[in-house]
A = this chain, B = another copy of it.
Amino acid sequence: MKIAMLGSGFIARFYAESLHAQRRKDTLFTVYSRNPENAQRFSADFGLSHFTTNMEEAIAHPEVDVVLISLPNHLHEPAVAACAKYKKHVLCTKPLGRTAAEAKRMLSMVETAGIFGGYLEDLCYTPKFLKSLNSIQQGAIGKVLWTKSRETHPGPHSDWFWDKEQSGGGAIIDLACHCVEISRNYIGKNIRPLEVMCWAATQVHPIEAEDHAIGLVKYANGAIGQFEVSWTFRGGMDLRDEVMGTEGTIWINNFLRTGFEMFSTGKGGGYVAEKAESSSGWLFPVGDESHELGYPNMFTDMFEAIEKNRTPLESFYDGYVVNAILDAAFSSAKSKQWEPVQLDDWRGDATTEQSQTLVSFDDNHYLVKEEVLPNGDQVLILKDKKSGVVIQQKKQAAPSIGDQG
C-alpha cells in the first residue's frame, strides 16, 4: 500500500522507521507538514517520492491508498474530515480525540464515508501484550479481577503536548489512553465500563495540565482497570502492565527491564533508549524499541484488515470508548467522586452481572482457604453456608525430632 504521512515530527519518524524496515512491502509515498523544511527533510530522510505543505494535496493524491495521521491532537478531526471527503482509508494516532464528542464525530465521518478507520494504539500491539492477551483469552489466568497499566516518563517530546488547548490535557490524555485500552482488552472489550474514580495533579511542571494521575475504571462484571500515568517519573520510561485473575497473574515490563543490562563508565555511548536519562552507570536498553512498542504488529494488522475488509484489533470505535473513559476521569478529578462513563453508542454486552465465584467444600460449607503451615500442620478454613460462621479444621503434623532446635 502507498501511504500519505501527515506530520513529520517525533512519532512520524518512529512510524516511518518501522514501515521502511524488514523488507515490508508497504511504503510511504508522501509527507505533509505545514513547515516546508520539515516536509523536505523528512522526505529526504526516508526516500519519499513527494512532499507537500498542503494537507489536502497529500490526502487526495491518486497514488495514496491510506492516510496516516501523525499530527497534534487538535488537528486529528480536520484531518479525518479530509480523509472522509476524499474517501481515503485513515489510520489515526492515539488519542483519537481530545474528548469523546470529538472522537464520536470522527467515528461518524469514517462510518458515513465507508472508509477504514484504524486507531493506532501501538501498546495494544506489543509482542508481550498480544501473547498475554491470547493467554488470557485461552483462560490461563481465569476470570480477570484487576488490571493495572502504568506509563510514566519525564514528559513528552513536542511543545504542543505541553499546551492543554492543543493536546486536550496532560498525562491523562497523553498516556492514560494507552492504559485504558490495555485494560479494556484484558478485561474484555464487550464488558461495559461503568464509572471512573481519578486523582490528578500538577506536581512538578509549570503547566496547566496534570503531570500525574491515577484512575480506577469499574467494569460491569466487577473488574477494575487501574491506570497510573505521569510526566514526573525519573529513570527512563516505565511501561508496565499487571493482571490479576482468579487462576493466575501476569506481569509485563515493556521497557525498563527486558533482559538487557549495560554498565558504562560513560566513554563512548550515544543514544541508548527512548526517554533514557543518562548514558553512564547502569543502563537498560531495549533491543528493538519499535517492535517492543508494537509498531510493526500494528501496521501489519491495519494493512491486512484493509485488504481483507475486516475490523482491525483497534478501531475508531475503540478510540471513542477510550475518550469517553478519559472524559469521566477528568470529571472525577474535579468532582472528587466516581463519575459515570457516558457512552451514547455502546456496542458491547448489555448485561450487568457482578458474579462472585464461591467454591463449595461440602453440602454445608464453602471453602475459604486450604493451606499447609511451615510446621507441617494442615489447615482448612470453611464457612457455614447457613450461619455464616467461619471455622478452622486443623490436622497436626507428625512431630519431627529437633523441629525447633
Interface residues of A (CB under 8 A from B): 10, 13, 16-17, 20-26, 45-47, 126-132, 135, 138-142, 145-146, 148, 152, 154-160, 162-163, 197, 199, 201-208, 212, 214, 216, 218, 222, 224, 226, 228, 230, 232-236, 244-254, 257-271, 274, 277-278, 280-288, 291-292, 296-297, 299-300, 303-304, 336-338, 356-359, 366, 368-369, 371-375, 379, 381, 383, 388-392, 403-404
Q: Indicate if the CB atoms of A214 and B235 lie closer than 8 Å.
A: no
Beyond A214-B216, A247-B267, A381-B162, whether A262 also contacts B141 by CB under 8 A is yes
Residues in B whose Cβ lies below 8 Å from that of A163: 389-390
Residues in B whose Cβ lies below 8 Å from that of A146: 212, 230
Q: Indicate if the CB atoms of B262 and A140 lie closer than 8 Å.
A: yes
Q: Indicate if the CB atoms of A234 and B206 lie closer than 8 Å.
A: no
Closest chain B residue to A206, Cβ basis:
B366
27 A-B contacts, Cβ less than 8 Å apart?
A17-B404, A22-B24, A23-B304, A126-B287, A128-B259, A128-B260, A128-B287, A139-B268, A139-B269, A141-B234, A142-B267, A159-B390, A159-B392, A163-B389, A206-B366, A206-B383, A233-B249, A234-B244, A234-B263, A235-B248, A236-B263, A257-B259, A263-B277, A278-B280, A281-B282, A282-B282, A287-B292
Copy total for this chain: 4
The smallest beta-carbon distance between A256 and chain B, in angstroms, is 8
The smallest beta-carbon distance between A296 and chain B, in angstroms, is 6
Q: Indicate if the CB atoms of B373 and A157 lie closer than 8 Å.
A: yes
